[in-house]
């Protein structure tokens, strides 16, 4: 008998109920009790969806973030909130969101904790704050309450927690102290937690240690041995869970730890499974993640069974089956989708459908395939149809891909030659000023868009409303005296969706929301087929904007790597191929913009770094194809067309050489969050082209002063020759108000004037 379980269920709710409950509580429109009730109802509903499983996760629900939950469970609260009164959930929101979270409940002025990406997903967690003086004390009330609730509902509960090593690894020490030194203080609290859970009737605890799929040095590996020998108890069984990748050099370690079960990602690490089986002790459960928890495609059940049956014969009841990772990263229910056509829908599977696939697999293994004949046949025909569908495979796209040659990646002349021609043509002053693309997305813009989508505003009225917005932005920029202008992006809802909607090969769900952080969700577009650009996507808007000014107007595009990294991607071809297809589509757009007389074209690659593999050993390969895709998109232009790119909110220093390889004439880059730490990279690396280090932190309502901007730029000029510096904000201005943007840009332009005259 194989056993089925789930590592985690999306908590946001099929209709984003959690988001709305949270936001209503934060706005003080509803009570804390109402919020807690909403949480309890969601948990109940989600367990009901999992009722066919042998074990359902308990503790995977969270009001904001599972890592922050663990910090609370371990009593690791930042000192600044420890003595504050109010419900502990209010304190929790203070750490998650800063003082605005619960304004008025108690004094303000609380700084939120840092937030960063959860491994290589687009989910963001709240970084645990650690220091030499961190102490841990157990607070198991959340887990105990949820365990109680599950018991009342008759759920077969498997408690989910984050393991001690992954917890420390995710944390950040502000005082540069050694995180691992905290392990001896942390382990006793985990021991207490496990015995408390055991006392409350927990039989299995899933202890997540995804860092086992990353490169660990020997200290961390040894710490695993110490930790799990300490946690070993006869009171609860531990299912050590790894996901998102291969164990590789940590495989023997993972198999040797004294736990009762091991979960591995059998999609990413399929080749390792036989090795794991041979190394795992005879009484240890092996849980195989065989359904993709991070993508939305239907599983090929027959192929999976072909692979699983011999393993099942070998392991019998020791074999557990699950999705590869928590289903947090996929939308809840495909049934809600009304607009996707039947054919496309038949290829997809969201969280609820994935659990159904799991039951079919398990029933077929346990009772024989004949009992699941209809289900397997339906599945097989959907899988087969997708493989040969003309909607997926477009011969003309494949032919264009085959014609890609190395020359397409290269500009005609080297940067120095191009720069000369561009400067002659653009006649820009020293320290040219520009912005990153978007201007405030005002209420007015949003209203027009939603009326248009609801069919209450005609296309022509919508277009003229957007033109008015563009004209408004252009006039503001002229009045401010900026040098290279933008159209302001009023017509774009989102920098990826906007392009996806116009490309063949992309589909959009109505309710396919995935949590990004807290109450924030994204609806990644679904790339299902070969990508074809049917017609110009941005040219008319930019041409119109250019017609309003004599200053250069930037064409504004999203780059292939960013579009790829923010989409659900195809699983039937390598990501590199999908990325090349996107690159060809963007290249066509770039060339059309150039033909339309646009002299400066910006191709944003905000998510370039997000695609980096978890293991550094694989970075090179990724960077090679990602940079090549950008170059295909950008480098078909003539020497005198100036290519810009833009990046933000990630570490750049360790990939600066690859960024230089993109060979964009200009890069604008966010620096404020790290206080211009970016510039350190230029001490050792001679960045060859032009660069605009951001001088206006667009996430803050603060207006940067002229002096501050001058100081930042002078600092930059110590490392990069002034002839190659630009002055610009950190990122797009769409979330700010005009009342902030205008004085900030005024100071920016004034600072540039001062810099020019005092050099
Ligand atoms: N051009 C986009 C904007 O200005 C860039 C956004 C981003 O980098 N995330 O909004
Ligand atoms: Zn940005």
**Residue of minimum CA distance from atom 8 in ligand 1:** 606
752 alpha carbon – ligand 2 mean position (Å): 21
Residue written as token pair 């304004």: 103
610 alpha carbon – ligand 1 mean position (Å): 15
Alpha-carbon distances of 167 from 211, 508, 613, 665, rounded to whole Å = 9, 35, 20, 42
Q: Is the CB of 736 under 6 A from ligand 1?
A: no
Ligand nearest to the CA of 734: 1
User: Which helix (H) or strand (E) is 42 found in, with range?
Assistant: helix 32-49
Terminal alpha carbon distance of the chain: 77
pLDDT tens for 374-423 read 999 999 999 999 999 999 999 999 999 999 999 999 999 999 999 999 99
Atom of ligand 1 lying closest to residue 648 CA: 8
Q: Is 245 helix (H, G, I), strand (E, B) or coil?
A: coil
How far apart, in whole angstroms, are the C-alpha atoms of residue 287 and residue 719? 53
**Residue of minimum CA distance from atom 4 in ligand 1:** 732
How far apart, in whole angstroms, are the C-alpha atoms of residue 217 and residue 101? 39
Tokens representing residue 42 in the block? 């969601």
Dihedral of the CA atoms 251, 255, 259, 265 (nearest 10)? 50
Instruction: List, in order, residues 6 or more apart from 439 with CB less than 8 Å away.
Output: 473, 476, 486, 488, 489, 490, 733, 734, 738, 741
Atom of ligand 1 lying closest to residue 436 CA: 4
Q: Is the CB of 734 under 6 A from ligand 1?
A: yes
Q: Is the CB of 698 under 6 A from ligand 1?
A: no
* Cβ atoms of 610 and 650 closer than 8 Å: yes
pLDDT at 98: 79
* Cβ atoms of 82 and 134 closer than 8 Å: no
Ligand nearest to the CA of 496: 1
649 alpha carbon – ligand 2 mean position (Å): 7
How far apart, in whole angstroms, are the C-alpha atoms of residue 690 and residue 725? 6
Q: Is the CB of 434 under 6 A from ligand 1?
A: no
* Cβ atoms of 351 and 9 closer than 8 Å: yes
* Cβ atoms of 510 and 117 closer than 8 Å: no
Q: Is the CB of 438 under 6 A from ligand 1?
A: yes
Please tell me the number of Cα atoms within 13 Å of 273 on its side-chain side: 23
Return the closest-CA partner of residue 317 out of 270, 365, 361, 273: 365
Neighbours of 281 (CB within 10 A): 11
Neighbours of 235 (CB within 10 A): 13
557 alpha carbon – ligand 1 mean position (Å): 9
**Residue of minimum CA distance from atom 1 in ligand 1:** 437
- To test the ligand 1 pocket, which listed residue (555, 604, 669, 698) has its Cβ within 8 A of the most ligand atoms? 604
Angle between the N-to-C axes of helices 301-315 and 373-388, in degrees from 0 to 180, rounded to the nearest 10: 130
Tokens representing residue 698 in the block? 């667009």
The alpha helices in 161-243, defined as continuous H runs, are 164-170, 183-199, 218-231
> pTM of this prediction?
0.94
650 alpha carbon – ligand 2 mean position (Å): 10
- To test the ligand 1 pocket, which listed residue (122, 434, 438) has its Cβ within 8 A of the most ligand atoms? 438
pLDDT under 50: residue ranges of the chain: 100-108
Return the closest-CA partner of residue 419 out of 691, 646, 640, 594: 640
Atom of ligand 1 lying closest to residue 606 CA: 8
pLDDT at 675: 65
Ligand nearest to the CA of 649: 2
Q: Is the CB of 158 under 6 A from ligand 1?
A: no
pLDDT at 518: 94
730 alpha carbon – ligand 2 mean position (Å): 6
Q: Is the CB of 690 under 6 A from ligand 1?
A: no
22 alpha carbon – ligand 2 mean position (Å): 27
Q: Is the CB of 563 under 6 A from ligand 1?
A: no
Q: Is the CB of 495 under 6 A from ligand 1?
A: yes
pLDDT tens for 49-64 read 999 999 999 999 999 9
Q: Is the CB of 440 under 6 A from ligand 1?
A: no
Which letter, b or e, does each residue of 567-604 get, where b requires 16 or more Cβ atoms within 10 Å of its Cβ? bbbbbbeebbebbbbbbbbbbbbbbbbbeeebbbbbbb
**Residue of minimum CA distance from atom 9 in ligand 1:** 606
Q: Is the CB of 604 under 6 A from ligand 1?
A: yes
Which letter, b or e, does each residue of 239-268 get, where b requires 16 or more Cβ atoms within 10 Å of its Cβ? bbbbbbbbbeebbebbbebebbbbbbbbbb
**Residue of minimum CA distance from atom 3 in ligand 1:** 732
Alpha-carbon distances of 718 from 40, 138, 660, 672, rounded to whole Å = 57, 50, 19, 17
Angle between the N-to-C axes of helices 32-49 and 88-97, in degrees from 0 to 180, rounded to the nearest 10: 80
Strand order in the sheet with 261-265: 3-4, 319-323, 285-291, 261-265, 237-241, 204-208, 157-162, 56-58
Active site residues: 699
Return the closest-CA partner of residue 7 out of 260, 320, 279: 320
pLDDT at 148: 98
655 alpha carbon – ligand 2 mean position (Å): 17
732 alpha carbon – ligand 2 mean position (Å): 6
How far apart, in whole angstroms, are the C-alpha atoms of residue 288 and residue 7? 11
Q: Is the CB of 608 under 6 A from ligand 1?
A: no
Neighbours of 634 (CB within 10 A): 29
């Amino acid at each position: 008998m194989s056993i089925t379980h789930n590592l985690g269920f999306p908590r946001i709710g099929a209709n984003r109920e959690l988001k709305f409950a949270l936001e209503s509580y934060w706005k003080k429109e509803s009570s804390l009790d109402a919020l807690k009730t909403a949480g309890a109802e969601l948990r109940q509903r989600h367990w009901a969806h999992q009722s066919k499983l042998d074990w359902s996760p308990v503790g995977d629900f969270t009001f904001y973030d599972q890592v922050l939950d663990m910090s609370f469970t371990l009593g690791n609260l930042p000192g600044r909130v420890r003595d504050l009164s109010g419900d502990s959930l209010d304190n929790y929101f203070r750490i998650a969101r800063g003082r605005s979270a619960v304004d008025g409940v108690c004094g303000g002025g609380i700084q939120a904790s840092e937030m960063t990406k959860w491994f290589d997903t687009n989910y963001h967690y709240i970084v645990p704050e650690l220091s030499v003086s961190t102490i841990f004390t157990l607070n198991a009330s959340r887990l105990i309450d949820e365990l109680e609730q599950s018991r009342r509902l008759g759920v077969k509960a498997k408690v989910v927690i984050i393991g001690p090593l992954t917890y420390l690894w995710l944390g950040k020490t502000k005082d540069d102290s050694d995180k691992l030194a905290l392990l001896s203080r942390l382990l006793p609290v985990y021991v207490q937690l496990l015995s408390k859970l055991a006392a409350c009737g927990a039989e299995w605890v899933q202890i997540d240690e995804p860092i086992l799929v990353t490169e660990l040095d020997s200290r961390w590996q040894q710490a695993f041995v110490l930790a799990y020998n300490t946690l070993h108890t006869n009171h609860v069984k531990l299912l050590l869970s790894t996901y998102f990748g291969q164990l590789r050099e940590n495989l023997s370690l993972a198999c040797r730890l004294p736990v009762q079960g091991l979960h591995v990602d059998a999609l990413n690490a399929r080749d390792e499974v036989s090795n794991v089986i041979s190394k795992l002790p005879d009484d240890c459960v092996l849980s195989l993640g065989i359904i993709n928890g991070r993508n939305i495609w239907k599983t090929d059940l027959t192929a999976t069974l072909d692979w699983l049956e011999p393993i099942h014969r070998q392991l019998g009841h020791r074999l557990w089956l699950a999705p590869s990772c928590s289903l947090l990263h996929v939308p809840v229910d495909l049934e809600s989708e009304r607009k996707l056509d039947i054919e496309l829908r038949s290829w997809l599977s969201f969280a609820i459908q994935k659990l159904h696939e799991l039951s079919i697999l398990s029933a077929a293994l346990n009772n024989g395939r004949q009992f699941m004949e209809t289900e397997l046949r339906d599945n097989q025909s959907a899988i087969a149809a997708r493989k040969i569908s003309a909607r997926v495979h477009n011969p003309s796209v494949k032919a264009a891909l085959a014609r890609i040659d190395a020359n397409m990646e290269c500009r005609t002349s080297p940067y120095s030659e191009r720069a000369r021609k561009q400067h002659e043509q653009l006649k820009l002053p020293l320290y040219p000023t520009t912005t990153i693309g978007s201007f405030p997305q005002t209420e007015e813009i949003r209203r027009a868009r939603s009326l248009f989508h609801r069919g209450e505003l005609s296309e022509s009225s919508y277009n003229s409303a957007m033109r008015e917005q563009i004209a408004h932005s252009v006039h503001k920029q002229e009045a401010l005296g900026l040098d290279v202008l933008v159209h302001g992006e009023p017509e774009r809802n989102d920098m990826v969706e906007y392009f996806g909607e116009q490309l063949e090969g992309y589909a959009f769900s109505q309710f396919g929301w995935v949590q990004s952080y807290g109450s924030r969700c994204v609806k990644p577009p679904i790339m299902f087929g070969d990508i074809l650009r049917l017609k110009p996507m941005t040219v008319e808007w930019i041409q119109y904007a250019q017609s309003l000014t004599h200053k250069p107007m930037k064409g504004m595009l999203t780059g292939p790597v960013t579009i790829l990294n923010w989409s659900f991607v195809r699983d039937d071809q390598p990501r590199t191929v999908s990325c090349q297809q996107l690159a060809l589509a963007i290249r066509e757009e770039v060339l059309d913009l150039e033909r339309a007389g646009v002299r400066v074209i910006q191709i944003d690659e905000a998510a370039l770094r997000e695609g980096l593999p978890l293991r550094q050993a694989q970075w090179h390969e990724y960077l090679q194809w990602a940079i090549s895709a950008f170059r295909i998109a950008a480098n078909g232009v003539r020497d005198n067309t100036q290519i810009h790119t833009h990046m933000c909110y990630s570490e750049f220093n360790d990939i600066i050489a690859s960024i230089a390889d993109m060979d964009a004439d200009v890069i604008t880059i966010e620096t404020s969050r790290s206080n211009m730490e970016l510039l350190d990279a230029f001490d050792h690396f001679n960045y060859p082209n032009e660069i605009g280090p951001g001088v206006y932190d667009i996430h803050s309502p603060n207006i940067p002063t002229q002096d501050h901007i001058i100081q930042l730029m002078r600092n930059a000029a110590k490392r990069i020759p002034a002839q190659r510096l630009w002055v610009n904000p950190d990122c797009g201005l769409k979330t700010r108000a005009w009342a902030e943007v205008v004085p900030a840009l005024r100071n920016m332009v004034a600072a540039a004037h001062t810099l020019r005259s005092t050099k």
